[in-house]
Structure 1
Amino acid sequence: MPRLVAAPDSLPRTWSVAWQQSAFRYRLLLTLGLLLVLVANLPPFFAWVQARPGAHLPDPLLALLPVQDVSWPIFIIIYLSVGATLHYVLPRPYLLLRLLAAYWLMQVCRVALLALLPLEPPIGLLPLRDPIIDTFIYVAAGPITKDLFFSGHTATVVLLALGVGPGRRRQWLLAAAAAVGLLVLVQHVHYTYDVVAAPFFASVCYWVAGRFGQAGTQ
């Protein structure tokens, strides 16, 4: 794999600079291709996950929380977070590459863990329907309720917070991630373990993606 050389500090890390590097083009196109392959294979995978039996986990914290349908607050927070992050990273191609690679790796980790850890949904679960993901990716006849360990919604917002770098923007996104984590528990669509594990996997994937993209801080 060709080595990606970071742009000199005297040059703006713009798309025109980044696109001149064959290593950047290669890694960006490779990452986008891997994401497309992943998305194409998710519907049959989740159909298999949904059909197989799993185990119920004891969750004392979840048992204390009243069940409420908070789908709209969850997705408002998530998509506002995505929009704010895209506004920051789109002019920064190396950082965009790192986030895309981290997101792909995070989803691969989730697929592997879902395959290895068959679980039944928490008692009292209220289905969470994503107006975008469920329409274009999952495309299932019924709601996906066994998409459990780890919480992809929480991990995604944590990943976005890591991508924007230190500062107030990261603080707001970390608060958004905490809110999403709490709300998915209120709706009982995840176990507490799923939410607690999410920041760990998001952080590891972001770190590994930094080695892949040599993105640095932008």
Structure 2
Amino acid sequence: MYIVSELGKPSIKQAWTAALQSPKKRDKLLIGSFIVAILLSSLPIFFSHIQKRQGIVLDDWVLAHVPAYDVSIIIFTIIWGMATLIFVRSLYNPVIYINYVCTLIFINLARMITIYLIALDPPVGLIHLADPLTEVFYGNTVITRDLFFSGHTSTMVLIFLCLEKRNDKILGFICIVAVMVLLLVQHIHYTIDVVAAPILVYLIFLGVRKILKLDTLKNNEN
């Protein structure tokens, strides 16, 4: 039970104290965060291996008709803006963080499997997406073969699914569409990479909520 502040909402300290006092929430918070840390630390090794192999170039009708432009700044302004939003929301509602982290684990595992099994060379006309923050997880190496399915699109969809406020959802949906279009404009992904991502992430999200009973956490939050 949250102890609410004078404004009718729990403070950040109160929200997280209550979450850590709940065994179910505490276990998911700690275990989920630990597993994500392990996965993120292993990504540079995985991507380094993927980048060295040869794949196939897909005949993409959409990319063939879309001139390539560098829109890196716009893409990362949107992505990091939404990342900041969900971070703020999760500060006051740890269940959002739990939903995000637990689902992120399975999304990363799914991407590693599909990227490993489906060897693709980058699209023709690809313009490298330069972002000093995410490059940390790529081992500070240019990675262009992490294609199916799109990690940037997956991130935006996961944020959208974890957000709860109506206006946040609307903003999140607009940002998903914008990032999907911009990734194609920059020829970073094939069309199938960005189209498949929302479907796969949504299915993973539903599966994780059912398996880990995350709906129960939300319903029992108060």
| TM-score above 0.5 | yes
Gaps of 5+ in 2: none
Q: Give the AA of the match of 1:30.
A: I
Q: What is residue 108 of structure 2 aligned with on the other side? A: 107
Post-superposition shift, 1:37? 1.0
| Alignment partners' CA distance in 1, 2:107 and 2:38 | 15
Identity of aligned residues (%): 33
What are the superposed Cα offsets for residues 149-202 of structure 1, whole Å, 9 maximum, x if unpaired? 111111111111111125121011111011001001000010000000111122
How many residue pairs get matched? 209
RMSD of the alignment, in Å?
2.0
Is the 8 Å Cα contact of residues 105 and 205 (structure 1) preserved in structure 2? Answer: yes
| Alignment partners' CA distance in 1, 2:217 and 2:186 | 37
Gaps of 5+ in 1: 1-6
Q: What is residue 170 of structure 2 aligned with on the other side? A: 171
| SS in structure 1 of the partner of residue 123 of structure 2 | coil
Is the 8 Å Cα contact of residues 103 and 205 (structure 1) preserved in structure 2? Answer: no
- 1:41 pairs with 2:47: no
Q: What is residue 160 of structure 2 aligned with on the other side? A: 161
Q: Give the AA of the match of 1:191.
A: Y
Q: What is residue 148 of structure 2 aligned with on the other side? A: 149
Q: Give the AA of the match of 1:114.
A: I
| SS in structure 1 of the partner of residue 132 of structure 2 | coil
Post-superposition shift, 1:16? 2.3
| Structure 1 runs of 4+ with >4 Å offset | 10-13
- 1:138 pairs with 2:159: no
Is the 8 Å Cα contact of residues 89 and 96 (structure 2) preserved in structure 1? Answer: no
- 1:200 pairs with 2:199: yes
Is the 8 Å Cα contact of residues 62 and 191 (structure 1) preserved in structure 2? Answer: yes
Q: Give the AA of the match of 1:138.
A: Y
In terms of fraction of residues, the more helix-rich structure is 2
What are the superposed Cα offsets for residues 76-114 of structure 1, whole Å, 9 maximum, x if unpaired? 000001111211122111221011111121111100100
Is the 8 Å Cα contact of residues 97 and 215 (structure 1) preserved in structure 2? Answer: no
Greater CA drift, 38-47 or 159-168: 159-168
How does the TM-score come out when normalised to structure 2?
Answer: 0.88
Q: Give the AA of the match of 2:111.
A: R
Q: Give the AA of the match of 1:180.
A: V
Post-superposition shift, 1:14? 2.4
| SS in structure 2 of the partner of residue 89 of structure 1 | helix
- 1:17 pairs with 2:18: yes
| SS in structure 2 of the partner of residue 157 of structure 1 | helix
Q: Which has the higher contact order (CA 8 A, sep 6+)?
A: 1
